[in-house]
Amino acid sequence: MTWRGKRVHFIGIGGIGMSGIAKMLHSQGAAVTGSDINSREKVEELRAFGIHVELGPHDAASIDPSIDIVVISAAIKPSNVELREARRFGIEVLTYAEMLGRLMSEMKGVAVSGTHGKTTTTAMTASILTAAGFDPSFVIGGEVRALGGTSKVGSGEIFVVEACEYKRSFHNLLPQVAVITNIEEDHLDYYRDLQEISESFREFASHVPEDGLIVANTQDRNVRAVVAKQKATVQTYGVRVEADWMGSEPVWDGKRTRFHASFRGEPIGEFELQVVGVHNVLDALAAMAACSWLGAPTEAVYDGLATFEGVGRRFEILGRCGGVTVVDDYAHHPTEIQVTLKAARDRFAGRRIWCVFQPHQHSRTRFLMKDFARSFGNADKIVIPDIYFVRDSEADRELVTSLDLVGEISNLGGDAVYFPSFGEIEQYLMKNMREGDVLITMGAGDVYKVAHAVLERINGHAKGSPGGSALKEKEASQ
């Protein structure tokens, strides 16, 4: 389809994915406009890109009959005034996932799916393809400073995106290459159970054509079952297991993770990452498989991985002050918590680890309560604020609280406490942390604010104390 001259309006344009495809359409000559209630930073970025965006309450006046397509984010409700006006005029309305599918159908698509790990794998894939000179377009669900942000409109034919399973949105995609990192219970406010989730992934995998490629994590039995008997070629990957793409046990040397890789028994070489953890090596192997199939040479794979600095809010080290290291991470699923804390234990061996975990959704917390409670084994101290309320009903809200999770963790021997507000948590941390500690904030909500606030407090104390930080002084006085 030729987008030049088409008028496309985005309702909720400030989201990572929405803003990314808005830029793509603008670059292809479409007249793009948009509206958003509060994503000021992203709105300013879009305005600088040349896209007209209204910031503030949605207004029916933003819609007129000359608009060809209206694209809505997942957060837009049927009662939205702009959406209702678009339907009144008979304008075609597409969800973000539907528009993403249209754009992918015009390019060589790479779709990275999985319960977790897809943001990092997508970013690694884009990094390798960029190093190979393919100049891909991409939309990534996190900030990747080395790639210039969350999205890019490239001059090449390859389009790399995250493929989200929520509400089966990835069924709108028809990729040439599909990656499946893992399949676990999640989004149980939408899916009935793991079987239904697996069926959804099986449908997604079936969209890859016979001459395409499915990259599958062989260490996940659910993934193995889903990719069996698919029409496309399947290449597996794993660490310390038999697979097409095999990685060795990773070694963290204090600065980088090093591992050896082979393809179908033939050694490829030693690779290095600036990020830590077996889960990151698995993500690297998946990206390696996808990019090699697309024609990226081994040298580009090495360079793309070696220069990859990570994704914002994925084990992001925000700073070190007063002898305390502050890290922020997006982990909001039990497996993500486990692998992130294991990586922290490996990287910060011998240091006391504080984890401030903000549960995301009451329904997810309730359905996965036991798994959440078991996931904090590598944390010395666990602090839980109120559950981040999103998408749930008031009935869901009444069925579970953060105190329930604290109780489950404590029953398993964990040292967990609850504070309802971030301010109380910050005060508790400042009073009880000491030099040498590591603070990790975790969650898909706004818990990152605790990390930034604590770092600012420690820094303020350090500047105001002639003998060093307040944390050091407290420890010395005890």
The domains found in the chain, sorted by start residue, are 7-95 (3.40.50.720), 107-306 (3.40.1190.10), 316-477 (3.90.190.20)
Q: Of 93, 22, 26, nearest to 63 (Cα)? A: 93
The catalytic position among 23, 42, 118, 472 is 118
Q: Using one digit for the tens of pLDDT, what is the confidence trace for 101-144? A: 999 999 999 999 999 999 999 999 999 999 999 999 999 999 99
> pTM for the complete prediction?
0.90
* SS3 letters across the chain: CCCCCCEEEEECCCCHHHHHHHHHHHHCCCEEEEEECCCHHHHHHHHHCCCEEEECCCCHHHCCCCCCEEEECCCCCCCCHHHHHHHHHCCEEEEHHHHHHHHHHCCEEEEEECCCCHHHHHHHHHHHHHHCCCCCEEEEEEEEHHHCEEEECCCCCEEEEECCCHHHHHHHCCCCEEEECCCCCCCCCCCCCHHHHHHHHHHHHHCCCCCCEEEEECCCHHHHHHHCCCCCEEEEEEECCCCCEEECCCEECCCCEEEEEEECCEEEEEEEECCCCHHHHHHHHHHHHHHHHCCCCHHHHHHHHHCCCCCCCCCEEEEEECCEEEEEECCCCHHHHHHHHHHHHHHCCCCCEEEEECCECHHHHHHCHHHHHHCCCCCCEEEECCCECCCCCHHHHHHCCHHHHHHHHHHCCCCEEECCCHHHHHHHHHHHCCCCCEEEEECCCCCHHHHHHHHHHHHHHHHHCCCCCHHHHHHHHC
The catalytic position among 33, 115, 119, 125 is 119
130 noted as active-site residue = no
Tell me which residue has tokens 């904030």: 441
Would you say 151 and 329 are in contact if contact means Cβ atoms under 8 Å apart? no
Report d(CA 236, CA 224) in Å as an integer: 9
Report d(CA 368, CA 194) in Å as an integer: 12
162 noted as active-site residue = yes
- Given this model, what pLDDT does residue 462 score? 59
431 noted as active-site residue = no
- Given this model, what pLDDT does residue 463 score? 61
The catalytic position among 82, 162, 272, 336 is 162
Say how many CA atoms lie within 13 Å of 176 toward its Cβ: 15
Report d(CA 438, CA 340) in Å as an integer: 13
- Given this model, what pLDDT does residue 362 score? 96
- Given this model, what pLDDT does residue 473 score? 43
Report d(CA 282, CA 297) in Å as an integer: 19
- Given this model, what pLDDT does residue 464 score? 56
Question: Per-residue pLDDT for the chain (478 aa), expressed as one digit of tens each?
Answer: 689 999 999 999 999 999 999 999 999 999 999 999 988 889 999 999 999 999 999 999 999 999 999 999 988 999 999 999 999 999 999 999 999 999 999 999 999 999 999 999 999 999 999 999 999 999 999 999 889 889 999 999 999 999 999 999 999 999 999 999 999 999 999 999 999 999 999 999 999 999 999 999 999 999 999 999 999 999 999 999 999 999 999 999 988 999 999 999 999 999 999 999 999 999 999 999 999 999 999 999 999 999 999 999 999 999 999 999 999 999 999 999 999 999 999 999 999 999 999 999 999 999 999 999 999 999 999 999 999 998 889 999 999 999 999 999 999 999 999 999 999 999 999 999 999 999 999 999 999 999 999 999 998 865 654 333 445 443 333 2
CA distances from 87 to 68, 91, 359, 444 (A): 12, 6, 37, 33
